[in-house]
């Protein structure tokens, strides 16, 4: 990294993560990012117009949110002169936004960048079939009553079957299987039982409950609906979760013989996390606070059908590249309970590392007591574009709380990738 500038994370905020009720939720993706972004901007001594760039990660903005990054920056009052863009790396879009910000700052292009992720999964659209689309187009073009009448016999009831956007989005159309099925693949390969994954889920909920009740979600800001409704908690949290209750749930993706259920998978949610990143000179000249230094980011690829293992090579290569053996605290995004468990098994397996990652040096094991200490996506949800920014921000708060130095946040990415970021707390 020689010759490049240090990059600091100054501040960040996130909205509560709001579980999808299978209907459009109260906030659009840009509403959420604006809520998070303005909380950061209103407490830092910078003028929004001084930002070098606004970068937003989002997998599926609404059709009226093209280049949602620009939508967000204009709504935040950054003004016409601040450029903005949107990035996508599927489930790691938020982390990608931070990586882009880091590159912009370390290269010396900018001194201040607002970056993060947002997603309103509850607002993913229902789509019509292509046949329906062409039939409607013909209908609209038809001028006379006779022409319209002649179109009627061409209509088939099956045209009416909607395409559910969220299901399409969570399917890898190259390998042809859904994200949930990739989790089933891992559960099988690493021999993870239904009981184990349910236990993981219960622990995730327990940790989130403890964190929420003890003020550990410092980055969480309340947001308000137009009708005054207050949203100030991650409402996916199940305080009454028990092994018995979870055991009753039916597998979702492999309906007959599978183990992955709604109870041990990440929830479909809406939410946003936005962070302010700055160069050293900006920090010094403006007297900005510093949450930590963004040291390095690593991206890696794995078999698409085993996309959940992405964090393993990403973390291993990240640490090796920085001559490190481990970190003080960890976040691995909980796309699925069994997926995180599979990552831990693979990471601890020298043979896997050597054969699949090509790394033979021994890395320190990941202590589960220092992993996802305040719960994760299984308990609070995984708004896909947001989670990368959320776990980065939260990990910085965990490091500060524990007076620790290094942290690694990582996540798997649909399509068969992994991403990891190395963070250092600086005082």
Q: According to the binding rule CB under 8 A, does residue 38 interact with another protein?
A: yes
Closest CA to 201 of 251, 246, 170, 139: 246
d(CA 169, CA 163): 11
Q: According to the binding rule CB under 8 A, does residue 227 interact with another protein?
A: yes
Range list of H helices, 348-416: 350-352, 377-380, 387-401
Q: According to the binding rule CB under 8 A, does residue 216 interact with another protein?
A: no
* Residues 230-249, interacting with another protein (CB under 8 A): 230, 232
Closest CA to 33 of 63, 70, 8, 79: 70
Active-site option among 91, 100, 338, 343: 91
To which residue do tokens 């940790």 refer? 207
d(CA 176, CA 286): 51
Pairing of strands 18-19, 269-279: antiparallel
Min CB(218)–another protein separation in Å = 11
Q: Which C-beta is closer to another protein: that of 34 or that of 68? A: 34
Q: Which stretch binds another protein (CB under 8 A): 54-62, 216-224, 321-329, 403-411?
A: 216-224
Angle at 18 between CA 33 and CA 209, to 5 degrees: 115
Q: According to the binding rule CB under 8 A, does residue 210 interact with another protein?
A: no
Q: Which stretch binds another protein (CB under 8 A): 71-79, 302-310, 397-405, 408-416?
A: 71-79
Closest CA to 56 of 78, 244, 298: 78
Q: According to the binding rule CB under 8 A, does residue 39 interact with another protein?
A: yes
Min CB(227)–another protein separation in Å = 6
Q: Which C-beta is closer to another protein: that of 227 or that of 360? A: 227
Retrieve residue 268's tokens.
């479909």
d(CA 293, CA 278): 10
Contact mark string toward another protein, 72..91, x via CB under 8 A: ---xxx--------------
To which residue do tokens 């399509």 refer? 415
Q: According to the binding rule CB under 8 A, does residue 45 interact with another protein?
A: yes
Q: Which C-beta is closer to another protein: that of 229 or that of 323? A: 229
Task: Please give the C-alpha separations between residue 178 and each of 252, 385, 411, 416, in angstroms, as whole numbers.
Answer: 11, 18, 17, 12
Does residue 58 have an active-site annotation? Answer: no
Min CB(41)–another protein separation in Å = 8
Q: According to the binding rule CB under 8 A, does residue 223 interact with another protein?
A: yes
Min CB(230)–another protein separation in Å = 4
Instruction: Kindly tell me which residue out of 63, 126, 152, 226 binds another protein, with binding defined by CB under 8 A.
Output: 226
Q: Which C-beta is closer to another protein: that of 75 or that of 188? A: 75
81 close to 48: Cβ distance less than 8 angstroms: no
Q: Which C-beta is closer to another protein: that of 42 or that of 137? A: 42
Q: Which C-beta is closer to another protein: that of 43 or that of 109? A: 43
Q: Which C-beta is closer to another protein: that of 2 or that of 229? A: 229
Q: Which stretch binds another protein (CB under 8 A): 181-189, 220-228, 255-263, 376-384?
A: 220-228
Task: Please give the C-alpha separations between residue 89 and each of 20, 97, 294, 300, 418, in angstroms, as whole numbers.
Answer: 22, 9, 19, 12, 10
**For residue 153, what are the contacts with CB-CB under 8 A and spacing of at least 6?**
none
Q: Which stretch binds another protein (CB under 8 A): 54-62, 88-96, 130-138, 224-232?
A: 224-232
Query: Element (H or E) spanning 81, and its range?
Result: none
Residues designated catalytic: 91, 412
Please give the residue ranges that form the binding site for another protein (CB under 8 A). Answer: 34, 38-39, 42-45, 75-77, 221-230, 232
């Amino acid at each position: 990294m020689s010759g490049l500038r240090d990059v600091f994370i100054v501040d960040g905020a996130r909205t509560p993560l709001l579980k999808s009720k299978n209907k459009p939720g109260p906030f659009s993706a840009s509403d959420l990012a604006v809520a998070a972004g303005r909380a950061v901007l209103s407490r830092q001594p910078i003028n929004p117009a001084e930002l070098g760039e606004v970068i937003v990660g989002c997998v599926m903005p609404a059709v009226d949110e093209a280049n949602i990054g620009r939508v967000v920056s204009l709504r935040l009052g950054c003004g016409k002169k601040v450029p903005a863009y949107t990035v996508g790396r599927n489930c790691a879009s938020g982390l990608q936004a931070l990586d882009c910000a880091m590159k912009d700052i370390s290269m010396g292009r900018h001194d201040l960048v607002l970056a993060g992720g947002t997603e309103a999964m509850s607002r993913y659209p229902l789509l019509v079939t292509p046949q329906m689309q062409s039939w409607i187009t013909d209908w609209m073009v038809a001028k006379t009553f006779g022409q319209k009448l002649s179109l009627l016999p061409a209509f088939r009831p099956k045209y009416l079957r909607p395409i559910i956007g969220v299901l399409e989005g969570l399917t890898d159309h190259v390998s042809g299987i859904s994200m949930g099925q990739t989790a089933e693949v891992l559960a099988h390969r690493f021999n993870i039982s239904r009981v184990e994954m349910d236990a993981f889920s219960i622990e995730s909920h327990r940790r989130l409950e403890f964190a929420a009740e003890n003020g550990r979600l410092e980055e969480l800001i309340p947001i308000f609906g137009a009708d005054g409704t207050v949203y100030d908690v991650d409402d996916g949290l199940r305080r009454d979760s028990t092994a018995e209750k979870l055991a009753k749930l039916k597998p979702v993706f492999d309906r007959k013989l599978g183990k992955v259920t709604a109870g041990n998978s990440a929830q479909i949610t809406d939410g946003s996390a936005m962070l302010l990143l700055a160069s050293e000179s900006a920090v010094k000249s403006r007297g900005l606070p510093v949450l930590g230094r963004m040291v390095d980011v690593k991206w890696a690829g794995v078999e698409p059908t085993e996309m959940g293992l992405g964090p393993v090579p990403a973390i291993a290569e990240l640490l090796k590249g920085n001559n490190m053996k481990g970190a003080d605290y960890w976040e691995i995004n909980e796309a699925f309970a069994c997926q995180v468990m599979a990552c831990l098994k693979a990471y601890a397996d020298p043979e896997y590392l050597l054969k699949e990652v090509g790394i033979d040096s021994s890395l320190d094991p990941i202590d589960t007591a220092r992993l996802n200490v305040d719960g994760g996506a299984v308990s609070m949800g995984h708004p896909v574009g947001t989670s990368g920014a959320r776990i980065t921000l939260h990990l910085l708060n965990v490091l500060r709380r524990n007076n620790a130095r290094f942290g690694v946040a990582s996540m798997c990415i649909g399509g068969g990738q992994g991403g990891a970021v190395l963070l250092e707390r600086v005082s």
